Amino acid sequence: MVLNLGDKFPNFTADTTIGQIDFHKWAGDSWVVLFSHPADFTPVCTTELSAVARLVPEFAKRNVKPIALSCDSADSHTKWIDDIKAYGKLTEFNYPIIDDEKRELAVKLNMLDKDEIGAAGLPLTCRAVFIIDPHKKLRLSILYPATTGRNFTEILRTIDSMQLTDRSKVATPADWVQGQECMVQPSVKEEELASLFPGGVSSVELPSGKAYLRKTKL
Ligand code: BEZ
């Protein structure tokens, strides 16, 4: 299944380290970051799961639940969590890991990497990230190869951007972080600026003479 941005994210049931879940029910009214891994007991994955555990309070502030997936059993995940905690000097591990030993979700969500073959001769999942909003809509998806660990601070930044742009008719520029100026969306008409942005809007002068680069601070 190829999922496009805006599609309803499919529901599924799965075994996880917190028992069996119905994904949509588990997500409830939260945003979800679903991120996949090639395999348990691998170095980059261990650093990633530890990084996310450390960021759980930041995800919670934004009403986001993280959930990981790896192509091994829930039993294996539970044993691996001890290593993840030790590596990250964590006292607890506070989000679930999905058991996808049979690759059912990996196939359904198109996450397999044909170039990464595991010990059992089966393809492994790449490092996929799906961000799903409380309406179960897919809002962002990225695929990284197995050899490149992800930057989860960047994932938080994209969530800040999506949550802000859901509330106001703005878009966030390159390297934007929360609190910085953002751009008025091109669809906003000049006559709407004062009511939508009472704090003011400044236009950047450009050689084209077109006033499309309009900045505002929210
Ligand atoms: C890792 O997590 O370190 C890893 C997993 C599969 C392939 C390459 C690296």
DSSP letter, residue 137: B
pLDDT in the model for residue 27: 98
Number of Cα atoms under 13 Å in the Cβ half of residue 19: 2
Please give the model's pTM, rounded to 2 decimal places: 0.95
* Residue 174 scores a pLDDT above 90: yes
Q: Residue whose CA is closest, atom 1 of ligand 1?
A: 44
Q: How many angstroms separate the Cα of 123 from the Cα of each of 15, 52, 100? A: 20, 25, 12
The pLDDT of residue 118 is: 82
Taking 90 as the threshold, does the pLDDT of residue 183 lie above it? Answer: yes
Q: Tell me, in angstroms, the distance from the centre of ligand 1 to residue 111's CA.
A: 15
How much distance in Å is there from the Cα of 55 to the middle of ligand 1? 21
**Residue percentage of the chain with pLDDT more than 70:** 100
What are 74-105's pLDDT values in tens digits? Answer: 999 999 999 999 999 999 999 999 999 998 99
* pLDDT at residue 33, as a whole number: 98
Ligand 1 neighbourhood includes 146 CB (under 6 angstroms):
yes
117 pLDDT tier (thresholds 50, 70, 90): confident
Distance 36 CA to ligand 1 centre (A): 12
Mean pLDDT calculated for residue range 187-193: 97
**63: exposed, middle or buried (C-beta count within 10 Å: 0-12, 13-18, 19+)?**
middle
Whether 96 lines ligand 1, by a CB cut-off of 6 Å, is no
Q: What sections of 62-151 are H helices per DSSP?
A: 74-88, 104-108
188: pLDDT strictly greater than 90: yes
Residues 153-163 have pLDDT tens digits of 999 999 999 99
Give me ligand 1 centre to Cα 43, in Å.
6
Q: Is the CB of 147 under 6 A from ligand 1?
A: yes
**Does 207 contact ligand 1 (Cβ within 6 A)?**
no
The verdict on the CB of residue 42 being under 6 Å from ligand 1 is yes
189 CA → ligand 1 middle, Å:
49
Q: Look at residue 119 and tell me whether its pLDDT is greater than 90.
A: no
Ligand 1: atom nearest CA of 46 is 2
DSSP one-letter code for 198: T
Ligand 1 atom with minimal separation from the 45 CA = 2
Q: For tokens 């929210």, name the residue.
A: 218
Predicted confidence (pLDDT) at residue 123 exceeds the cutoff of 90: no
Of 42, 124, 144, 150, the residue with max ligand 1 atoms within 8 A of its CB, to mutate for a pocket test, comes to: 42
Domains by residue range for the chain, with CATH: 13-150 (3.40.30.10), 168-216 (3.30.1020.10)
Sheet with 170-171, side-by-side order of all strands: 170-171, 182-184, 214-216, 202-203
